[in-house]
């Protein structure tokens, strides 16, 4: 907790006049109830967040989760739905100007239980309707990795793999950063404590986990994220707020599972026994209601793969339609915003009045989905140009 800076004298005067948003150079202040969230981009590199509690007069520095936006040179802040602040980063390209600072979303409320301080979380906004991540789970040796590799090979532009962290040693041919981020237990434990993981679990004697970043880099590449995680991890993701499709892969029989694990020849006898013991519990949990949306039996590989594709709505020729949307709008440092229901009107601030009408765009938030931990999807951006775009003067950009 710190002392309220002089900046707050001005803010408090403004609150008494009924304002809830006030820009001061590179700082914005947004009030929700008795709390004012001050977003400060003055250091030009990353962005600071402070919370001023107006009823106690305390200034609190919250725990900030998620990947922070970088290179902040001026921004606007608009309150959305009373639980998040839309932050539009000036001087940024269309793929990087829309961010949300979540202050009271289900994810933030859940995280508050783990921190003694206030918690806020950043989530980057992405245009278009990137599909929900896919969580694939099932006992060791059932063929999860094999099915995922086939999917990634056939649809390289559509899917991206969430590279987990693990404390287990690499197998032959496994590459750091590709198959896993191989890490030390104490390093991973610290990162977990710092809120960097979406989920983690002790699996077969080692620690495994999905970092928030692992999921975000896939979304940034405009791809649909696939997570290969154990049943504990899937349960944990399900209870958090990552919207996903949960698929459980079953072996045709326990004997066949053992045969596959042995034939893979990557584990010691002791590890095989441990994995088979755990498989019994996983099969029981995987088949119980409430966790998984779909169960697939991986008997014949090609048949199971076809069922997986069908379930994901993948038909021939679909890949070319689902390419990432092009980058079309840049947001200058000088801009102003106003909010009408779920639409944000952005004036890209040219001084010449006649040009102004050609520099208006609308950011439509009415279909947003997802959010921290991960991206906020479903944004829609339109340019408004009455002179050039026909009857409605609206040109859809993405």
Ligand X SMILES: Nc1nc2c(ncn2[C@@H]2O[C@H](COP(=O)(O)O)[C@@H](O)[C@H]2O)c(=O)[nH]1
Ligand Y SMILES: Nc1ncnc2c1ncn2[C@@H]1O[C@H](COP(=O)(O)OP(=O)(O)OP(=O)(O)O)[C@@H](O)[C@H]1O
Q: Is residue 142 within 8 Å of 249, Cβ to Cβ?
A: yes
Q: Does 146 bind ligand Y (CB under 6 A)?
A: yes
Phi, psi of 237 (to 5 degrees): -65, -40
Q: Which of 65, 142, 219, 247 binds ligand Y (CB under 6 A)?
A: 142
Give the range of 54-62, 199-207, 250-258, 347-355 binding ligand X by CB under 6 A: 199-207
Nearest CA among 372, 331, 295 for reference residue 104:
372
Q: What is the spatial distance between Cα 189 and Cα 162, in angstroms, rounded to a whole number?
A: 19
> Which 7-46 positions form the footprint of ligand X (CB under 6 A)?
none
Active site residue 260: no
171 in catalytic set: yes
**Shortest-Cβ-distance residue relative to ligand X:** 233
203 binds ligand X (CB under 6 A): yes
- Answer for which of 41, 74, 133, 143 binds ligand Y (CB under 6 A) is 143
238 binds ligand X (CB under 6 A): no
Determine, following the binding rule CB under 6 A, whether residue 249 of this chain makes contact with ligand X: no
At closest approach, how far in Å is the CB of 224 from ligand Y?
19
Strand stretches in 34-191, DSSP E: 35-40, 48-53, 58-60, 63-65, 75-80, 84-89, 92-93, 98-102, 119-127, 134-137, 159-161, 165-166, 181-182
Cα–Cα distance between 223 and 215 in angstroms, integer? 10
The Cα diameter of the chain in Å comes to 76
Of the residues 171, 185, 277, 280, only one is catalytic, namely: 171
Q: Residue 350 to residues 74, 256, 358: CA-CA distances in angstroms?
A: 16, 68, 9
Residue 298's binding partner among ligand X, ligand Y, none (Cβ under 5 to 8 angstroms by kind) is ligand Y
d(CA 330, CA 273): 56
Nearer to ligand X, 111 or 232 (CB): 232
Distance CA 304, CA 173 (A): 26
Binding to ligand Y by residue 175, rule CB under 6 A?
A: no
d(CA 126, CA 137): 27
Name which of 102 and 228 has its Cβ closer to ligand X: 228
Which of 228, 375, 377, 378 is close enough to bind ligand X by CB under 6 A?
228
Instruction: Decide which of ligand Y, ligand X, none touches 195; Cβ closer than 5 to 8 Å per partner kind.
Output: none
Q: Nearer Cβ to ligand Y, position 67 or 140?
A: 140
Question: Could you say which of ligand Y, ligand X, none residue 4 binds, taking C-beta under 5 to 8 angstroms by partner kind?
Answer: none
Q: Which is nearer to ligand Y, 296 or 372 (CB)?
A: 296
Contact 334, 346 (CB under 8 A): no
Question: Does 238 participate in catalysis according to the annotation?
Answer: no
If one counts every other C-beta atom within 10 angstroms of the C-beta of residue 271, the result is 16
178 lies in the site for ligand Y, by CB under 6 A: no
DSSP-derived 3-state class of residue 307: helix
CA distance linking residue 230 with residue 277, whole number of Å: 14
Q: Which stretch binds ligand Y (CB under 6 A): 26-34, 119-127, 136-144, 377-385?
A: 136-144
Binders of ligand Y in range 301-320 (CB under 6 A) = 301
| Contacting residue, 5, 145, 332, 393, with ligand Y by CB under 6 A | 145
For residue 298, state whether it binds ligand X (rule: CB under 6 A).
no
Q: What distance in Å separates the CA atoms of residue 339 and residue 319, rounded to the nearest whole number?
A: 36
Binding span for ligand X by CB under 6 A among 222-230, 325-333, 350-358, 378-386: 222-230
Count CB neighbours of 97 within 10 A. Answer: 25
CA distance linking residue 147 with residue 227, whole number of Å: 12
Residues making contact with ligand Y (CB under 6 A): 138, 140-146, 260, 263-264, 298, 301
Residues making contact with ligand X (CB under 6 A): 140, 144, 164, 168, 199, 201, 203-204, 208-210, 228-230, 232-233
Residues carrying an active site annotation: 171, 264, 275
């Amino acid at each position: 907790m710190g002392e309220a800076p002089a900046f707050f004298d001005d803010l408090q005067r403004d609150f008494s006049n009924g304002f809830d948003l006030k820009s001061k150079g590179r700082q914005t202040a947004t009030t929700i109830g008795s709390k004012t969230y001050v977003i400060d981009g003055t250091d030009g590199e990353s962005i600071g967040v402070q919370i001023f509690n107006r009823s106690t007069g305390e200034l609190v520095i919250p725990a900030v989760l998620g990947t922070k936006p970088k290179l902040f040179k001026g921004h606007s802040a608009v309150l959305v739905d009373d639980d998040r602040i839309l932050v539009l980063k000036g001087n940024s390209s269309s793929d990087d100007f829309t961010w949300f600072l979540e202050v009271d979303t289900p994810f933030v409320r859940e995280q508050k239980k783990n921190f003694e301080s206030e918690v806020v979380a950043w989530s980057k906004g992405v245009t278009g309707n990137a599909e929900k991540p896919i969580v694939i789970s099932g006992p060791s040796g059932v063929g999860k990795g094999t099915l995922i590799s086939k999917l990634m090979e056939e649809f390289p532009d559509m899917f991206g793999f969430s590279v987990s962290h693990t404390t287990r040693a690499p197998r032959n041919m496994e590459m750091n950063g590709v198959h896993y981020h191989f890490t030390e237990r104490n390093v991973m434990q610290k990162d977990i404590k710092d809120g960097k993981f979406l989920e983690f679990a002790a699996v077969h004697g080692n620690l495994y986990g999905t970092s928030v970043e692992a999921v975000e880099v896939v979304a940034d590449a405009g791809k649909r994220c696939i997570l290969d995680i154990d049943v504990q991890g899937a349960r944990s993701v399900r209870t958090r707020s990552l919207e996903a499709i949960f698929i459980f892969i079953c072996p045709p029989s326990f004997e066949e599972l053992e045969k596959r694990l042995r034939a893979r020849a990557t584990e010691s006898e002791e590890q095989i026994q441990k994995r088979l013991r755990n498989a019994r519990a996983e099969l029981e949990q995987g088949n119980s209601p409430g966790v998984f949306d779909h169960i697939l039996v991986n008997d014949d590989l090609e048949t199971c793969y076809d069922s997986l594709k069908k379930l994901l709505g993948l038909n021939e020729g679909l890949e070319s339609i689902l390419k990432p949307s092009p980058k079309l709008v840049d947001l200058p440092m000088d801009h102003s915003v106003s909010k009408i229901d779920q639409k944000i009107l952005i004036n890209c601030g040219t001084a010449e009045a006649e040009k102004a009408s050609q520099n208006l765009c609308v950011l439509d938030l009415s279909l947003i989905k997802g959010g921290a931990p991960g991206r906020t999807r479903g944004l829609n951006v339109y340019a408004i140009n009455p002179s050039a775009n026909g009857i409605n003067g609206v040109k859809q950009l993405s």
